[in-house]
Structure 1
Amino acid sequence: MFYTVNMKTIKELHKDDKPREKLVKKGVEALKNDELLSVLIGSGIQGKDVRKLSKEIVGILDESFESLSLEKLLKIHGLGLAKASQILSAIELAKRYTSQSNKKITSAEDVYNELKSFSTKQQEYFLVMTLDGASHIINTRTVFIGTLNQSLVHPREVFADAIADRAAGIIVAHNHPSGTLAASRADIQVTQRLDEVSKLVGIELLDHVILAKDGFYSFTEEGLL
């Protein structure tokens, strides 16, 4: 006699047990941890349906969330490289956003440390960092890549996401591939224009920081904002 292994996918679960339908009906906050994982991985493996597999993974997360590795996930019997990579990537993404949202910016040096990776770029990157009322980072976005000038850096693009983020203030930054730690005429003109618009939309322009390999230049610290 042969036995058929019952390997349920999300589609095969009873309607009331389907995490995806629960997510749509009640919101993602209503899902338990194993249900969130069920949505992420989609199906079970040989000998384990999706919910059983998810609960086993949650057990590993509870024990070693901070030290979770691909090797630890692959120790779960039957969990392959593809699903393990999906889980690890989703967790890392969440960690990065959580870490960013908790960071507080109190000086131009904080901005430089946060965006230091852009200081050695060979092209100019224009970045907008949105902050809440307690000066915590909400988000950081690249708005423009190329030579900085007024016609290319439009206030609408700079403030659109800040409005969507309900930010209290923004800090703009861009790198100087040449390594020059001084504001050009174009830098000053762009900053003045953004400062004017910031007063109209009620979102404060806190600083414009120029990033270079050997340090930074702050418009606020130089008395230009």
Structure 2
Amino acid sequence: MENVKQIKESRKAYDEMDQFTNEEFLQIFLQNQIGMEQLTETIEQFWKVVPDLSLFSLLYNSEKKMIFPGVPEVNRQFLAAVELGRRIELAPQKIIGEIFGSRQIGEKLICVQRGYRQERLTLLCLNTKNKIIFQKVIFKGSLNSATVHPREIFFEALRVGTNKIMVTHNHPSGEINPSEQDIKFTKRLKECGILMGIEVLDHIITGSDNYYSFAEQHLI
């Protein structure tokens, strides 16, 4: 059996955990709980009780408590980890806000972004009911420019699993008219969204007391 340390090093530790086998996960979980000389025997015992992971949920509680016989503390930690994973999987998405239109979100963003001394480009990810489920500042720039590539935006959108996004950034000068760079960036963002199947609903620029919506101007 390959040493756990070697497994971690060969797979760049936790950066590639999705590539770990079930056997490797068990080794990593058990490495600090029991001695290496018992590792093989303990894992073999696990597969006797749980020959297929899909059958785990069908086990009686009495059977689950005997997955690692003789080491009750390991058993408790394992069952706690399984339960935590189940709760994470079932946890509902947090709703940050709801969007009814560009005017509503634009007026709200004026208050939020007013006073920023640097340009900040923020991504808003929406669900199918136009509720905001994720937001993140993608870029902070100088007072004069905020240069960002669409890939950073769509990387986050794909990670979240959304098919609708909005982006917004502020103009510290207070002026809301889009620059030529803003227009080119918005067009590029829209084109990338079409290719990736992610709808870009709007790009909103905020100033000191007003906002500019590309959607309201029919430019997106």
| Category of TM-score, reference length = shorter chain | 0.5 to 0.7
Q: Which residue of 1 aligns with 2:73?
A: 15
Deviation, structure 1 residue 188: 0.4
Task: Deviation per CA, 1:153-188: give whole Å up to 9, x if none.
Answer: 111101011011111211010000000021111110
Alpha carbons of structure 1 residues 98 and 121: separation in structure 2 relative to 1, 3 Å:
same
Q: What is the aligned-residue identity percentage?
A: 31
Q: Which residue of 1 aligns with 2:82?
A: 25
Task: Provide the rounded CA distance (Å) in 2 between the counterparts of 1:30 and 1:171.
Answer: 30
SS of 2:105's equivalent? helix
Task: Provide the rounded CA distance (Å) in 1 between the counterparts of 2:207 and 2:161.
Answer: 30
Task: Provide the rounded CA distance (Å) in 1 between the counterparts of 2:162 and 2:109.
Answer: 18
Task: Provide the rounded CA distance (Å) in 2 between the counterparts of 1:166 and 1:174.
Answer: 22
Task: Deviation per CA, 1:113-162: give whole Å up to 9, x if none.
Answer: 1573222201000111011111111101111111446xx31111010110
1:158 aligns with 2:158: no
SS of 1:27's equivalent? helix
Task: Provide the rounded CA distance (Å) in 1 between the counterparts of 2:208 and 2:129.
Answer: 29
TM norm structure 1: 0.57
Task: Provide the rounded CA distance (Å) in 2 between the counterparts of 1:25 and 1:99.
Answer: 26
Task: Provide the rounded CA distance (Å) in 2 between the counterparts of 1:30 and 1:136.
Answer: 22
Q: Are the equivalent residues in 2 in contact too, given 1:120–1:212 (CA < 8 A)?
A: no
SS of 1:195's equivalent? helix
Aligned with 2:140 (options 120, 126, 145): 145
1:193 aligns with 2:178: no
The count of residues paired between Structure 1 and Structure 2 equals: 145
Q: Which residue of 1 aligns with 2:179?
A: 184
Deviation, structure 1 residue 194: 0.5
Task: Provide the rounded CA distance (Å) in 2 between the counterparts of 1:118 and 1:224.
Answer: 23
Task: Provide the rounded CA distance (Å) in 2 between the counterparts of 1:215 and 1:98.
Answer: 29
The one-letter code sitting in structure 2 at the alignment partner of 1:182 is N
Task: Deviation per CA, 1:10-57: give whole Å up to 9, x if none.
Answer: xxxx62785x543312334469xxxxxxxxxxxxxxxxxxxxxxxxxx
Which structure: larger Rg? 2
Task: Deviation per CA, 1:62-90: give whole Å up to 9, x if none.
Answer: xxxxxxxxxxxxxxxxxxxxxxxxxxxxx
TM norm structure 2: 0.58
Query: 5+ unaligned residues in a row in structure 2: which ranges?
Result: 1-71
Task: Provide the rounded CA distance (Å) in 2 between the counterparts of 1:155 and 1:178.
Answer: 24
Alpha carbons of structure 1 residues 114 and 184: separation in structure 2 relative to 1, 3 Å:
closer
Aligned with 1:127 (options 119, 122, 127): 122
1:219 aligns with 2:214: yes
Q: Are the equivalent residues in 1 in contact too, given 2:171–2:205 (CA < 8 A)?
A: yes
Q: Are the equivalent residues in 1 in contact too, given 2:163–2:198 (CA < 8 A)?
A: yes
1:110 aligns with 2:104: yes
Task: Provide the rounded CA distance (Å) in 2 between the counterparts of 1:133 and 1:178.
Answer: 35
Deviation, structure 1 residue 109: 2.8
The one-letter code sitting in structure 2 at the alignment partner of 1:219 is F
